[in-house]
Structure 1
Amino acid sequence: MTDSTFLYDDGDVDTNRSANGHLNDLIASRYSRRQTLRGGLSAMTTAVFGGVLLAGCDDDDLLQRESVSVSAGQAATTSAGRTVTLQGTASSTARTVSWTQVSGPTVTLNNANTNTATFTAPAVSASTPLVFRFTGTTGIGDASTAETTVTVTPATLDFTAVAKNRNDLVTVPAGYLVTVLYRLGDPISANTPAYANDGSDANFAMRAGDHHDGMSFFGLAASGATPDASASTRGVLVMNHENITENYLHPRGQTTTGGVRPEAEAIKEIEAHGVSVIEVTRGASAWSYVQASALNRRITPNTPMAFSGPAKGSAMLRTVYSKDGTQGRGTINNCANGAMPWGTYATAEENWAGYFRRNRGDAAGRTAAGQAKENTSLSRYGISEGRTGNYGWTTVTPADSSSTIFSKWNATAAADAAADGSADFRHEPFQYGWIVEIDPYNPQSTPRKRTALGRMNHEGVSAGRMIAGVKPAFYMGDDSQNEYIYKFVSNTGWSAADGTAADRLAVGDKYLDAGTLYVAKFNADGSGQWLPLVFGSGPLTSGNATYPFADQADVLINARIAGDLLGATPMDRPEWTAVNPANGEMYCTLTNNSSRSVSRTDAANPRSYVDPRTDGRSNSVGNVNGHVIRLRENGDTTEATAFTWDVYAFGAGSDLNKDNINLSGLDDSNDFSSPDGLWFSLPSNVAGQGANPVMWLQTDDGAYTDVTNCMMLAAIPGRVGDGGTKTVNNSTPAGTSTATTRVGKAPGATLKRFLVGPKECEITGITSTPDGKALFVNIQHPGENGGPDNITSSWPASQTGTPASPSRPRSATIVITRQDGGLVGI
């Protein structure tokens, strides 16, 4: 200190002239000046003397101040989603150090009070500097600071594209790990034995079903079974089991004696369909499912259901099981899905029609009973006379003669039964083809079939952006050749408080039971309209000659017929829908269409061509490789009744003609065929944030399997209208045609192959933890073309090496993580 300090005299001067020892003398006799300044005082000494020793020091004291020096390291550049490490250094005089953020988008600093802090680079739309300050402080409060700048650029797909291959394992990029989580037959209760995988296993009501498909993750608090949407280490995983590979379910494949199926085999096949609800947790080294969790349950084709919405109680839903048409039993052929914003799971009933038997002569019987329009409906949904029904379940003679779990699949009207359908199962087909809502947190809850969303071959349902006060929309595809794309708009504007309500199915009642169902019409000029399926509007009346609708319930039960009459655009098998969380644009996979002839091409479905094969099989014709269409609502609102559209990407082999087939200029790093699964990363992490969130694309392919197994790609898509128009000249043996379409900007490096699956599989179903660090993916029906005597895939046993002998393949869920613990994909 300088002499000027003493210009103010408060009388505090040394007037003690005694010989008593001075405190400083005591300190000097035990501690050197260097030890004191370096913090050498013991904890006990500090406790005794407190801050007195430090507070009164001046330049002449033994405890004089010393400077502290720090460095914040050099400036750096990174991309969104990457883990950034800030490394500071401080001189030995610093007793504490800390990192703080000075400017830029706010991030969470981990270990901020150490030399080494980390954070996840935030989502940005352009190069953005973030400034951080490193501070070192001495024991008496003297401090020094230094700053460094980390410039964050927009997210990129930070992995090397996986090469096409036909290996019998899941291949992912370098730096990623694959864990097999939940396989066909895995037990979901404490007293269910492990799966033998030799065809002898039973009780699939307490085992994982087959053909894992769409799924969603619902977070759980670490302390108990309480919903926590932000939880990323514990949760409930809900997934569909679309179908079965029957050859592997039984010891020697299916048994049929005299055209009759054994009861035990049929029960196993029925129970292997449906939905799984299981608890999963992240341990110290890997994810696992909790076999004995109280939350675990299977929902099968035998599970009681409740109807909800306009068709509840309709005469067309009456059966001997539910004489008033308000209840149902079971869900089947569950394909894609949707996670509702209030914490429920929506599963979609897709190819359900094939499970029904309908004897010859049934149409005449219905006509005689005054129900001729039921024949029109059954025919439009593919339930024609002469069908025996998938797997022959109706041939079973049950040991319990009162059981109807097999006879319910016979839609033939009994001659001596009541004409209203309340004494047989003639109306059972009308009980299927719905979106079914499930509460994943409540095992005692009854799933609800949401009839306001229409009846069709539902592929899935995707919620649009939820904006307070705006009526939300839910987008759906009808997965059959030349079917339609739909959206349902609720009558009720969104309230954020409903996102955390305790009675989740009651919230579903609020938003999903009343509203307007629309079907899409795509125009050649890039515009489109949503046409309302409303009874009494346009041709949807009781006087319509093609189909006289009775009421709104009839319109919804026969949504396909209503779409026909309104002039909707037939599409190339609309499958999954997904909504970009950043801008609300809706994407839909159009997987392929073998019946897209050259004469029926149009702007939204412009290709019909010959796809060459290299394995000696016959070439395929039509829109063989599929495409992904997208639309932007007018005004960017879910309530819009008009939109603009273009094609995000056309599937094709990289070597095909780029003028008329490979219109998106795909190369070996990103060419694909038959797009199916589709999903955007969650907005709860950087991969789903910013202007360009990551989109995941999965394939279910039969056309390109001579070159590669099915795959999953990651994309950072642009926006509707970012490309231009192209004229396609189609040519097949049946003729030629020309169609002008709208094509998005060529994806290039913003579309990369991330995963290739094992032999004969489909890649379908995807979700992640809220933090984006664990990606769940389903591998469906590996080795589907084989059987007990001809095992064509040993996956998942082959994932960790070649088994000593072939192992029956099993559909399974995998978890993909980064070795460095970062976000998946970027």
Structure 2
Amino acid sequence: MKTPSITAMSYHDGDTDTNRSGNPHIDDLVSARYSRRQTLLGGLQAASAAVFGGMLLSACGDGDDEAALVDAGASASTTSGKLVTLNGSVTGPAESFGWAQVSGPTVALSGAQTTTATFTAPSVAAATPLVFRLSSTSRDGVRSQADTTVTVGPAQLGFTAVAKSLADIVAVPAGYSVTVLYRLGDPIAANVPAFANNGADTNFALRAGDHHDGMSYFGMAATGNAPDATNSTRGLLALNHENITQAYLHPNGASGMGSGGVRPEAEALKEMECHGVSVIEIVRGAVGWSYVPNSGFNRRVTPLTPMSFSGPARGTPQLRTRHSPDATTGRGTINNCANGTMPWQTYLTNEENWAGYFRRDAGDAAIRSAAAAAKENVSLARYGIREGAGGNYKWTSVTPADAASTVYARWNATAAKDQPADGSGDFRHEPFQFGWVVEIDPFDPASTPRKRTALGRMNHEGCQIGRTITGVRPAFYMGDDAQNEYIYKFVSVTPWTAADASAASRLAVGDKYLDAGTLYVARFNADGTGQWMPLVFGQGPLTPSNAAYAFADQADVLVNARLAADALGATRMDRPEWTAVNPTTGEMYCTLTNNSSRTAAGTDAANPRAYSDPKSTGGATSGNANGHVIRLRETGDTSEATSFAWDIYAFGAGSDLDATNINLSGLDGSNDFSSPDGLWFSLPSNVAGQTTPVLWVETDDGAFTDQTNCMLLAAIPGTVGDGGTKTVVNTLGGASSSVTIRIGKAPGTTLRRFLVGPKECEITGIHSTPDGRSIFVNIQHPGENGSPANITSNWPYNQSGTAAAGNRPRSATIVITKDDGGVVGF
């Protein structure tokens, strides 16, 4: 209908704007649409969280304007190292969605752009909340979000203890898998045939050696040859080959081993090449870990490999031989036991029971005395090379095809009457060329390994570097593995520089830190304190006037470190083996494996047990049959300290032994062990090595083998002084003693058995990838008491099922992974 014209009216029906306010026009509202909806969303989330929990509907509308419904899931609790899954959901029109961390220690989210993300719970000292937000954005930009909280508690061991076992298999906890990676005889170069394992195989310079032992993983860049300390899918594995199971290496066992027998050259060469070190490239693919048989990085270092000497003893007359008249070079390394992983990406291999390989005929002492070298007799005897020794494998009986070869004659340390007394015409000084820490650059197969004489000569077990702190001189901790020997540390003269960790010339960095410094030996006092005593020529008894051994100079002190430690009054220990340093506290742990010669009268606070341990199969072991783990904390928490506090972390014992005087740590069926040997802390590059790092303990046992094969245990230890004191009463052989000890807090559930190995093996060698999701462990000499006619183990052939009869056992490296992909141990 037409509106009539009325002059009195000031407006017409709907045609006139009478709203003079400053309120926005609808056009303004339309243009501001998205920002208004975002503001509404934020307010709704804050107001509605208590009602809807982790699920929020952020806005309403029609068609494409409708927001998604987001649910971040319920809050949860976990512990450090566990793999956590965030299960959220997005319902409705979502163009994109994903997770982000809102608060708490930063973690790496995997699958962040999905509704199901995962992360590894970070290392924390106390319960710590982490907040995560799941957000969704619709096609027209409407955003929805919801939060959830995961509270992380301190680390706990996250597996059920493996039972003791006498089975012929590697047993690990439920939820874990074992892969056999690298076995005796595996080829490491092109055109080397597969290992037949019937005794006919040759060319072990290009095959895996025997008796796998200490081991380190070095990450590599995804392509090329550069180190990458963060890479957990490609790397180099360096590992020791300590010894051999001689019978299995030949078709019908070894020939010529009887009295007056002569060894065939082919057998002796094979045995020699089976010792030493392997460096191999390994990769993790879609189906797991494997080694790269034809990699250009693959390398064997054997007793035949050229070596150079560095440090204070380089060129000293005691290293002079027919092969090296100037005493600067040598041939090979042997009986390599534990190891060291240097932050500048080199590998330390350590010569342990090398003395047993040498022959020394009757009359040698008289020849040396006549040549005014009588004090060499004192040294040789102190290191266990006595007249009448024939050498472990009789390699000196070989008549080589090459008449000029000294490959076998070098193992005869007898002085030749018609040769110069300075040792330049024979091999009387060859034993002085062994017993060292040897540094290898795993990334340069053409490099010459260096024997670091500043670290002293002994039965070197491990050599572990302590924490590296810029401006502080680093320390390197070592055990001398023999009954009643000592614990040592070397402190470099050079303060640590962080840039050296990525230096291109790795052995040059080794020169910087390992060739000059002070070697110390430990004395443990009954009150829980101790001193590091310097092995420095001219100080105290380390002089030419010393009655027991006349030290000539610093090189003489280092070549004869045992004699120097004797003179200083160091504490005689129950076979010091591996050392390990807690990456958080800097405390050093050392395994004291056992000591059959420890008597009740000879006990002390640091070595307090002497007892008889009966076996169910008959007989008994005595002394300190089960061993213990000692630990120390440097004064001021600095590697440069010359004093320390100490206690005993754990005593090995069967849970059935006397709790008052033998099973002092209160071990039960889940964690009782004997003869601790290998020792290692998880890496600080992952949560297993942070805040409360995991300690791994391996055994090499003869006292507990009536109940179980050797094992690997995991622990979350406390700190020095967290326990108290106990008094131990020892009764052995009709004698008795009472000793007050410093003992750590009982391990309880913080120590747990993780692995049990196959028959007659030793568990030794351990390292991991930087992310802690793959752990490498060595199984040494399974079935070692057998022979080709009496094979006592079929491992590793039976690891995945029943093995065919007749398969000879093989030492091997295994990889242990968690089935859910998490950090091993948690």
C-alpha separation in 2, matches of 1:63 and 1:288: 54
- Contact kept? 1:574, 1:588, Cα under 8 Å: yes
> Counterparts of 1:452-463 in structure 2 under 5 Å?
452-463=454-465
In structure 2, the CA distance between the partners of 1:579 and 1:7, relative to structure 1 (3 Å rule), is same
- Contact kept? 2:64, 2:140, Cα under 8 Å: no
> Could you tell me how far 1:619 is from its partner in structure 2?
1.1
Q: Deviations over 1:674-712 (max 9, x none)?
A: 00000011111111112x111100000000001100000
> Could you tell me how far 1:734 is from its partner in structure 2?
3.6
> Could you tell me how far 1:389 is from its partner in structure 2?
0.7
In structure 2, the CA distance between the partners of 1:137 and 1:405, relative to structure 1 (3 Å rule), is same
C-alpha separation in 2, matches of 1:169 and 1:443: 35
2:164 is matched by which residue type in structure 1?
K
1:637 is matched by which residue type in structure 2?
T
3-state DSSP class of the match of 1:429? helix
> Could you tell me how far 1:66 is from its partner in structure 2?
3.0
Map of 1:420 onto structure 2: 422
- Contact kept? 2:64, 2:139, Cα under 8 Å: no
> Could you tell me how far 1:819 is from its partner in structure 2?
1.1
Deviates more, 1:89-98 or 1:204-213: 89-98
Structure 2: 5+ residue runs without aligned partners?
1-18, 31-58
> Could you tell me how far 1:13 is from its partner in structure 2?
14
Map of 2:121 onto structure 1: 121
Map of 1:766 onto structure 2: 766
- Contact kept? 1:186, 1:195, Cα under 8 Å: yes
> Counterparts of 1:462-611 in structure 2 under 5 Å?
462-611=464-613
1:712 is matched by which residue type in structure 2?
L
C-alpha separation in 2, matches of 1:820 and 1:595: 47
Map of 2:451 onto structure 1: 449
Q: What TM-score comes out, normalization by structure 1 length?
A: 0.92
3-state DSSP class of the match of 1:125? coil
> Could you tell me how far 1:5 is from its partner in structure 2?
11
> Counterparts of 1:291-690 in structure 2 under 5 Å?
291-616=293-618, 618-690=619-691
- Contact kept? 2:321, 2:327, Cα under 8 Å: yes
In structure 2, the CA distance between the partners of 1:517 and 1:90, relative to structure 1 (3 Å rule), is same
2:788 is matched by which residue type in structure 1?
P
Map of 1:152 onto structure 2: 152
| Number of aligned residues | 778
Q: Which 4+ residue blocks in structure 1 deviate beyond 4 angstroms? A: 3-14, 61-64
- Contact kept? 1:110, 1:118, Cα under 8 Å: yes
> Could you tell me how far 1:93 is from its partner in structure 2?
3.0
C-alpha separation in 1, matches of 2:573 and 2:20: 88
Map of 1:777 onto structure 2: 777
In structure 2, the CA distance between the partners of 1:9 and 1:610, relative to structure 1 (3 Å rule), is closer
C-alpha separation in 2, matches of 1:461 and 1:238: 15
> Could you tell me how far 1:64 is from its partner in structure 2?
7.6
1:141 is matched by which residue type in structure 2?
G
3-state DSSP class of the match of 1:671? coil
- Contact kept? 1:598, 1:734, Cα under 8 Å: no
Identical aligned residues as a percent: 70
Deviates more, 1:132-141 or 1:476-485: 132-141
In structure 2, the CA distance between the partners of 1:4 and 1:63, relative to structure 1 (3 Å rule), is farther
C-alpha separation in 2, matches of 1:475 and 1:698: 18
> Could you tell me how far 1:464 is from its partner in structure 2?
0.1
C-alpha separation in 2, matches of 1:612 and 1:569: 28
Structure 1: 5+ residue runs without aligned partners?
15-57
Q: Deviations over 1:145-175 (max 9, x none)?
A: 2211100111111111000010001001111
Deviates more, 1:215-224 or 1:641-650: 215-224
Map of 2:70 onto structure 1: 70
C-alpha separation in 1, matches of 2:206 and 2:113: 49
Map of 1:22 onto structure 2: none
Q: What TM-score comes out, normalization by structure 2 length?
A: 0.92
In structure 2, the CA distance between the partners of 1:139 and 1:546, relative to structure 1 (3 Å rule), is same
> Counterparts of 1:148-297 in structure 2 under 5 Å?
148-256=148-256, 258-297=260-299
- Contact kept? 2:188, 2:208, Cα under 8 Å: yes
3-state DSSP class of the match of 1:749? helix
In structure 2, the CA distance between the partners of 1:13 and 1:189, relative to structure 1 (3 Å rule), is closer
Deviates more, 1:186-195 or 1:793-802: 793-802
C-alpha separation in 1, matches of 2:363 and 2:232: 56
Map of 1:32 onto structure 2: none
2:720 is matched by which residue type in structure 1?
V
C-alpha separation in 2, matches of 1:636 and 1:297: 39
> Could you tell me how far 1:733 is from its partner in structure 2?
1.9
3-state DSSP class of the match of 1:777? strand
C-alpha separation in 1, matches of 2:213 and 2:21: 79
- What is the RMSD of the two structures over their aligned residues, measured on CA atoms? 1.8
3-state DSSP class of the match of 2:348? strand
In structure 2, the CA distance between the partners of 1:573 and 1:138, relative to structure 1 (3 Å rule), is same
- Contact kept? 2:64, 2:93, Cα under 8 Å: no
C-alpha separation in 1, matches of 2:304 and 2:343: 28
1:342 is matched by which residue type in structure 2?
W
In structure 2, the CA distance between the partners of 1:140 and 1:608, relative to structure 1 (3 Å rule), is same
2:684 is matched by which residue type in structure 1?
P
Q: Determine if the alignment matches structure 1 residue 724 to structure 2 residue 727.
A: no
> Could you tell me how far 1:141 is from its partner in structure 2?
2.5
C-alpha separation in 2, matches of 1:192 and 1:804: 24
C-alpha separation in 2, matches of 1:231 and 1:519: 37
Q: Determine if the alignment matches structure 1 residue 809 to structure 2 residue 801.
A: no
In structure 2, the CA distance between the partners of 1:64 and 1:371, relative to structure 1 (3 Å rule), is closer
